[in-house]
Structures are given as structure tokens and as C-alpha cells.
Amino acid sequence: MPLRGPRGNQVRVFVSGVSSGIGMELARQLIGAGHEVWGIARREAKLQALASELDSPSFYYSSCDTADEAACAQVYGQMQERGFLPDIVVLNAAIDLEEEKPALDFAQTARMMRTNVDGAFYWVTAFIKPFLQRGHGQFIGVSSLFAHWPDGASVGYSASKSALSMLLRGLRIRYAGTGLHFKLLYLGPVDTPINPRFEQEEPSSSFLVASAPDTARYITGMMTSSRQNFYFPLYIFLIFTFLRWLPDRVFESLTSPFKR
């Protein structure tokens, strides 16, 4: 089903974390399909390079750290000045910082929570009122398999993805029947820079490790679906459905080769 919006075949999509990985591929695919995209990321040089590559008047971008509320507010003001109100908001920006054992770094974990949770919630609070006034809009939260099982190497990352998931689930209940949709994507390992085990120049995919382009294509498919929960690759759905009973330690040993 083609992606459609109030302006016919063109929709407006806001994407956080477009300077690399899934966000970058999503911007490429959406612009290539004729849609408008406003992307944000921390790295100005990466944003400029992507804008140069896309060479499209339909791609807008702002350098913004989602952990910085003032910076987010400034970007939101820029969007209002341009009259850019998205139809779809993709909450993709995230960081994963592995802790040095056995110590715990409060500042590092707090930074992950600000980026992965607070940074997502800011954009929900920014867009929720105009979405309600308009009567439609959707938020897509990029979550993780680790929203259900903890990650001993990065306890802050799994906690942040669990919080993001519960946030959107709660919003579904709060705004039921308003025309707003809150969708969650639970991901397995994806070959992106957030996962240092898969740092390489050329993207790759396999049964167990998805590529960023394939993941972006899956997200665009989510935009036209009436479902609320999504799993990618397919085996993630099977894990959530049939193996939720797995003890934490067993899950940890099975997934250690693919840790974020």
C-alpha cells in the first residue's frame, strides 16, 4: 500500500538520528519516494553530507542533540516558522554506551536516558497538541529486544528502551480514539554504528543481523499499517511470542555475540 497523507501521495516525516544507520537510510528512501523529511542529528557535517547527497528541496535538517531540551525547542521553533507539521514522527535517535565493569558511571547512564527516553518524549510533547487539533498523526518508537530482557553490558541501554516502550504503550491508552497512533518497533541486531560489533564500511544483512536499508524499508511499511507492535527481523517476533519465559541469564548467554 503506498504511503499517503493529507496532501495526496506526499507525507511529511520527522526523523531523529538521521546522520547514520537506520535514520539515514529512512531519509534516503522517503525522499526517493517523493516525501518531505525533516531530519535531526548531532553531527552537522554528516547532515550536510546527506543533504548534498539527496540534493532535494524536500529534505530539511537541523543539528540537534535530542538530550538538550533547549536545542530541541529551537528546532521546533524553526519548524513552526517554516510551517512544517509532520504527519509521522519517527523516534529513532539513540546511543548505547557500554559500561566498564565492575564500576557504574552515573553520568554515562544518565546521558543514555536523556537521549533515548527524554529526547523521544520531548518530540511527543511538542507534536501532540497540533496532532490532536488536526485529528491525526502517528509516532513510531524504535525500541529493541532489550526492552524486555536486560543487557548486563549496558544496563542503561536496556532500561532506556524499556522506558520508551512503556511510554508509547501508555500513550496509546491515554489518546485512544483520537486519531493518533503510537507504534513500537522491537529490533534485533542491526548493522549500524550504534553497535560496535558491526562497524564496517559496507552494510550487510543475514538471518540474525539486519541491514539498515532493510530496516528502513520495514519502517516505511509500518507507516501504512494499522498494527501497533512490530518486530524485525521476523525471528524477533518468534522470540517475543514463544520465548518470553527465558530467564535473564539464559537470554544473556544466547545473545552475547550480538550485543549492542
In a domain, 137, yes or no: yes
In a domain, 121, yes or no: yes
In a domain, 1, yes or no: no
pLDDT digits (tens, 9 = 90+) for 131-170: 999 999 999 999 998 898 888 878 889 999 999 999 999 9
pLDDT digits (tens, 9 = 90+) for 232-251: 998 888 888 877 777 877 76
Domain of 191, CATH number, reads: 3.40.50.720
**What does the alpha-carbon distance between residue 92 and residue 94 come to, in Å, rounded to a whole number?**
6
Domain containing 123 equals: 12-258
What pLDDT does 238 receive?
A: 87
- The residue with greater pLDDT, 240 or 174, is 174
Nearest Cα to Cα of residue 88 among 1, 25, 181: 181
In a domain, 120, yes or no: yes
Supply the angle between the helices 119-134 and 69-82 in degrees, to the nearest 10.
30
**What does the alpha-carbon distance between residue 202 and residue 182 come to, in Å, rounded to a whole number?**
33
Using pLDDT thresholds of 50, 70 and 90, give the confidence band for residue 207. low
Half-sphere exposure of 123 (CA within 13 A, CB side): 39
In a domain, 32, yes or no: yes
Count: domains in the chain: 1
Show Cβ contacts of residue 2 under 8 Å, excluding neighbours closer than 6 positions: 9, 224
Q: Please give the model's pTM, rounded to 2 decimal places.
A: 0.89
- Rounded to an integer, the average pLDDT of 72-98 is 95
In a domain, 2, yes or no: no
- Average of per-residue pLDDT values in the chain: 89
Residues above pLDDT 90, as percent of the chain: 67
**What does the alpha-carbon distance between residue 86 and residue 144 come to, in Å, rounded to a whole number?**
24
